[in-house]
Amino acid sequence: MEGRVASVWKPMALLRHEPIGTASHYDWLLSRVADCGDHDARVARTYRCHTRPDTTTPFEISLERVDDHRWFYLILAHIHELSDHRGLVTPIATGHWRDAEEPTTTASDARAQETSELIEVRFAPNGVVRACRIINESRLISVLEAADR
């Protein structure tokens, strides 16, 4: 019997961005790599949202895909003033994420999953693993909550 090869847990971060002159929002960063020595490398897939994905259970959150962010923001520990008067960024939460194994599907389910991605997220400090689905890079839905894995 073939065993499932576990996906690597990669860093993620939730930042509060307070731009000058507009409403604040959250930036949710999912690293594409497990570790990076270059703090300027754009390795963090980033979504803008107005609801915190670390505090709402169960949830469905609207997402807006924005440009990848630098590794620097995944390890940010203090409030940071952005250049060019773009406001302040405050680290809210950190954790890890990984690709999740898709369940066995029917033909209609497979078509729906073509535009979605199943991931597992684990925000610190509680370490609860939650399966979530990103749909069309515009919505995040919590699928289930499980014990720490």
Residue 2: per-residue pLDDT: 44
Give domain status of residue 5, yes or no. Answer: no
pTM given for the model: 0.83
Give domain status of residue 42, yes or no. Answer: yes
Burial (CB count within 10 angstroms: exposed 0-12, middle 13-18, buried 19+), residue 103? exposed
Q: What is the separation of C-alpha 4 from the centre of its chain, rounded to a whole number of angstroms?
A: 23
Give domain status of residue 76, yes or no. Answer: yes
Give domain status of residue 3, yes or no. Answer: no
Could you read off the pLDDT tens digit of each residue along the chain, which spans 149 residues?
344 456 899 999 999 999 999 999 999 999 999 999 898 899 999 999 999 888 766 778 899 999 999 999 999 999 999 999 899 999 999 999 999 877 766 555 554 555 788 899 998 877 788 888 898 888 888 776 544 44
Q: Which residue range(s) make up the domain with 89? A: 10-146
Residue 129: per-residue pLDDT: 85
Give domain status of residue 140, yes or no. Answer: yes
Give domain status of residue 52, yes or no. Answer: yes
Domains identified in the chain, total number:
1
